[in-house]
Amino acid sequence: AQSVTQLDSHVSVSEGTPVLLRCNYSSSYSPSLFWYVQHPNKGLQLLLKYTSAATLVKGINGFEAEFKKSETSFHLTKPSAHMSDAAEYFCVVSFLTSGTYKYIFGTGTRLKVLA
């Protein structure tokens, strides 16, 4: 069975400090994992994707995530937070069922960036 757990519902950081958003997954197969960002009243924007090519994945806007199979984790990081990073972040695992790839979403982490 596939599942995604985002360990923190809210994270607050000061502008210019590092960001860490945690995600653990459970998958019967080699998973495809994603991070998406959602700004208020907007759709989801793809930040990055892991598909087994490299364990450290670089995404847009300075974000990156490291896939750790031994820890079943896919944490999202950014060295220095910007005010514009304040948003909701979703960790997603993709799995194939009945010939279609479906997503399972984590419950989301709301990132607050303090001036």
Kindly list the residues in this chain that would bind other proteins in the complex (CB under 8 A).
Answer: 32, 34, 36, 41-46, 49, 90, 94, 96, 98, 100-103, 105-108, 110
- CA–CA dist 85, 13 (Å, integer): 10
The helix or strand, by DSSP H or E, that contains position 109, with its residue range, turns out to be strand 109-114
Q: What is residue 60's three-state secondary structure?
A: helix
Q: Which is nearer to other proteins, 15 or 38 (CB)?
A: 38
Q: Which is nearer to other proteins, 9 or 84 (CB)?
A: 9
What's the min distance (Å) between Cβ of 80 and other proteins? Answer: 27
What's the min distance (Å) between Cβ of 113 and other proteins? Answer: 18
| CB-based contact 88:109 (threshold 8 Å) | yes
The residue count of the chain comes to 115
CB proximity list for 70: less than 8 A, separation 6 or greater: none
Q: Which is nearer to other proteins, 108 or 111 (CB)?
A: 108
What's the min distance (Å) between Cβ of 50 and other proteins? Answer: 11
